[in-house]
Every structure is written in C-alpha cells, then in structure tokens.
Chain A
C-alpha cells in the first residue's frame, strides 16, 4: 500500500508541543539562561559562563542546606516507613472499623500544605498553642523559634503526622492483596509471627513500599511550604532546607544567576535519584517476572 505524504499531520502534534513548551521547556530554558549570565538590573545581561556553577559548588551555604535536606529526608523516611508498616499491620482487615480507619487516616493527606504548617505553627506556640503551652507548663523547655532541637522536632513530627498515612495506606493495600491461604499455610507450617511478616507480608509489600519510599523521598527533598510557615528556616539557618534557601537567594537577595545555577543542580540531583529508584524498581519487577 502506498502511503500518502501529508505534512499537515504535524498540526495535530502542535497543541502538545505548545503546551509542553510553555509548561516545561521555556521556563527551564529561562532558568538555564539566567544561570550563565550576570545582571546589574535594567534588564542588562552579561555572559558569565559557568561562573555561577563554580561559585555554588564552592559555596558552604549550599552544601549546608543540602546536608540539612538529606538529614531531614533520611530521618522522616526512617520514621514514616516502619511506622506506616506497623500501622498497616494492625489495621482491621474489613468491616466498619476498616472503613473508619481509612477515612481518618486519609484526612491529613487532604489538608493543604500551608494549612498543615499553620496548624502546627499555632499548635506549638508557647503562648497560645495547646502543645507548646502544655510542654512549657510541665517544665519542658520547648520553643521552636529559638531552640534548634525544638524546631527540628516540630518539623519532623509535623511531617510524620502529615504523611505516615500515605505509607500506611500503600502498605495496607499491599497486605490486602495477600490471599488467606498464605496465612493458613503459615499456621500449618507453624511459622512464628515474625516469620509470617518476614516471608509472606514483607515480600508482598516490596513493590508498594518502593513507591512509598520514592514518593516520600521526593516530596520531603523538595519540601518548602510547611517549614517556611512554621519556622521560616530558623532559628538562624537551622531549618533552611534547599527550597527555602533557593527562594531566599532568588527572591530575597535577587541573586538570579547563582539561584538559577543552584536550581539546575537541585533539579539534576532529583532527576538522578529518581532514575536510581526507577532502575531499582524495574529490576525488582523483572526479578518477580511481572
């Protein structure tokens, strides 16, 4: 069969191209543009080459923000993943209570980020917040605006409160897919509770847990709104994570060049980690023969 050449078909692809261009390519290129130029205002730009990248890589400020960021992500993962699994294992399997649990646990996930931040900001205040006031009265020194540990604890507890449900729900879905026969066979084989978890439940949850880890890692690695609302990055720079630092640099100091270089490296780091996760997950699937 002869194929007719009709270049008009390109018009059908055009809407997508335009959309992607405006939503992703052009903004990203703008950032690339800023990252290799310097400006002194008046919309006058000068070529700066890789100057900003060099400066950022040598900047102690950026490395500090990065290590704070990594520490935050690792801590919340270390709490949320085991805690989420633990909750999922103890949730009712079916009936009214299962539905109630699911609804209650979904609630934190539905609250907008800045509202979560505001809730905890007020909750933790020493003068009017229920938590802060109570802790203060029973003699615990707690003030997230002044104390490094109090600030970190507040942010971590807030994130755990906000997101453990997600891990629990995913793990719960994984558990629900295990047929009863597995538990029955384990009883007959006289497997201990730990062995049931280790050899039946955990293997069946691996897939969803990988997704949970990926989602929680990416989300926490890019966190901005909540810490910004609660601590504003303080006390000092104690909770200034990458995004907060980036906004400070770009909007506060209007250092567009360094901020753009910073953004691109930030983006590349996230891309790299996502790729690593993706590779691990697809290899897991292959091993399963799915």
Chain B
C-alpha cells in the first residue's frame, strides 16, 4: 500500500512531440492518496489506459516522475513496483488449473506453500470459484476467466496498488454488480490503493471514493460523485456524468443576471467572467412552467424511463432535456422553463467559473 505521486507527468507515443496535441497524456500533477479507491473515468481514447500503464510500469513516460511513497520509480520495471493489474480482456494461463492460476503470482515470488494454499482458498471463495479450483482454465466461460484474472490481481496482500483496466467489460450485468460490490468490500477490508479505469459512469460512481474525470489527455476534475454532479468543473464532466447530461446555454452575464435567448435569468450570485460564456443546468434542476415566466421552450417528446420522465424540449433551436418525477403530469400547454438557482453553473471557455464568495 502506498501513496502514488505523479510529478509533471506527460506522455506522447511520438518520438519527438512538438505541440500539446502530440501528447496522449498532457502534463499532470496528482497524488493518489494511500488506501483510497479511485475511478478513472472518460470516453475511449482520452488517455486513461495510458495513465494506468505508466503507473504499472508497462509504459515509460516521456517526461515527469512517478513516486511510490516518495520513492522515485519512474524507471523501475513492472516487477519491482509490486502492483497488481487486471486487464480488460481475461488473461488466464490456459494450461494451468484455476488453482495454479491463482497461486501463480505468489509462487513466482517464492511464498510459503501453506500460505499460498490458504490464500488461494480465500480468494476462490471471494470470486465464487471454489468448485472449479481443480479444473483447467481453458474451456471456462469469459466470465469465469475474468474472475480468475481478478482473483490473480487480488491474491497478493502486500501490493502497492491494485489497478483495474475496465475489468468488467466482458462480465454479465448481474455479475458486474456482485463483483463490484466484492471489490468494494475488499477495499474496505484491506485498504489497498485502487485505481479503476472505466468509461461507465455508474461503475465509476458506485465504486470509487473519488472519481477522476479525463478528457482529451487531461484530468478535468477530481472529486466525489456528489461534487461531480453538483459542480462539474468542465462542461465535459457535466455532459459525461448524468443521464441525460447537463444542458448548456450560450449566455451573456452581467453581475448576477444572465441573458439566455433574450430572457434574463437570475443567477443568485454575481460572477466576474470573460470569454465564451455558457450556463450549465442539469435536467434535474429544470422545471416546466405554464404561467409565462422563464425561457420560452417547446416540448418535443416525453420519455418515460420508469423512475422518472425525461422531457425533451426545444429552446431557441437547441435541444434541451428536463427531468420530471414519475408521478408528475406534464402540462400540455407548458411553454416555458425555469431553473432552480442552486443548480446553475457558469462556464467560461468550458471551465467552471466560481461564483463570488465561493472558494475556488
């Protein structure tokens, strides 16, 4: 278990990167606190796996340093870093039995056989494979193979960090919940530093204490699920997290009043801002009104997704979503929308602007 520090880290797959666009991973400074569970969230190709492979030592960064507990390991090989990693697709040793697969990392490090036997049984119980321990790994289903990979990742107790690279992609949905819950339980039990890469927001939000959102090779926000929801630091976070994502309106701002589609909107607090301004409001904070107050909007469609309804609207030619409670009736003559002031965020050039009075 260790604190992992990224110091001025950046990586490019090109031999001579010139501009910032050449970097798959842009310059980054961050501490991964010891014993926390992090999720690394972002769309495909945003640099999540690159970052993970740099931490595990499968990739050497173009610049910067990595420190485990303040010890520089930038040039250390994977084996010396004592980390465990689980990959997106199951990696099992086909010709070995399930038991030998689980014991493999321990045996290679010369652990005591009695300890290995006891530990393997413990892990097998955790992943629910006690019955198949003596079976050859070949011929098992993708699910089972991935469970073995997970088990092999968790079998060592003294690892500095456990890294997961979208490990549940090939697992059945009901099994996903179960395994994720087990991973969380494991985290509470042993307190490993865990980094979990995913592009599935549900997975990230349910697994992690802190979610690290990446976009275009850059970390755009690190925060608790609640922070990501209430105060997205970047329009990408607003769009990527939430279902549907945050609505963005082009606006001009004057003190505590914004103007959207020629309609003044009260922001509650004053903002000092410049650049391309946008107002971000999550669908949860938009209400429909029939009395003519607010911004003119037309209802296009109502989608009933079970626990709530998603109302699709058209505002000045722009598509907007609002969420209404399952029980609420949608008035047919609703032709305006209003915002809940506590759900309003202001963005300048895609980055959030802190309102006057809030510590940035």
Contacts and interface: CB of A to CB of B under 8 A. Distances in A.
A179 B152 CA distance: 18
12 contacts: A179-B89, A181-B89, A185-B85, A187-B77, A188-B79, A189-B105, A189-B108, A191-B108, A192-B108, A199-B95, A199-B96, A289-B138
Contacts of A181: 87-89, 91
A92 B138 CA distance: 29
Contacts of A187: 57-58, 77-79
B252 interface: no
Interface in A17-42: none
B160 to A, nearest CB: 12
B168 to A, nearest CB: 15
Contacts of B91: 179, 181-182, 184-185
A7 interface: no
Interface residues of A, number: 19
A188 B108 contact: no
Given A188-B56, A188-B84, A190-B105, A200 B93 contact: yes
B342 interface: no
A183 to B, nearest CB: 9
Interface in A171-209: 179, 181-182, 184-185, 187-192, 195, 199-200, 203-204
A288 to B, nearest CB: 6
A189 B96 contact: no
- Where chain A touches its partner, the secondary structure class is helix
B47 to A, nearest CB: 18
B275 interface: no
Nearest to B95: A203
B157 interface: no
A184 B81 CA distance: 13
Interface of B: 53, 56-58, 77-79, 83-85, 87-89, 91, 93-96, 104-105, 108-109, 138-139, 149, 152
Residue in B56, B93, B96 with the greatest tally of chain A CB atoms within 10 Å: B93
Given A184-B58, A200-B93, 19 more contacts: A181-B91, A184-B56, A184-B87, A184-B91, A185-B149, A187-B57, A187-B78, A188-B84, A189-B104, A190-B79, A190-B108, A192-B108, A199-B93, A199-B95, A199-B96, A203-B94, A203-B95, A287-B138, A287-B139
A287 B95 CA distance: 11
A189 B154 CA distance: 11
Nearest to A184: B58
Residue in A181, A195, A287, A288 with the greatest tally of chain B CB atoms within 10 Å: A181
Contact of B78 (A179, A188, A203, A287): A188
Contacts of B96: 199
B170 to A, nearest CB: 12
Closest A-B pairs by Cβ, 3 of them:
A185-B91, A189-B105, A187-B78
A36 B103 CA distance: 64
B166 to A, nearest CB: 12
Contacts of B138: 287-289
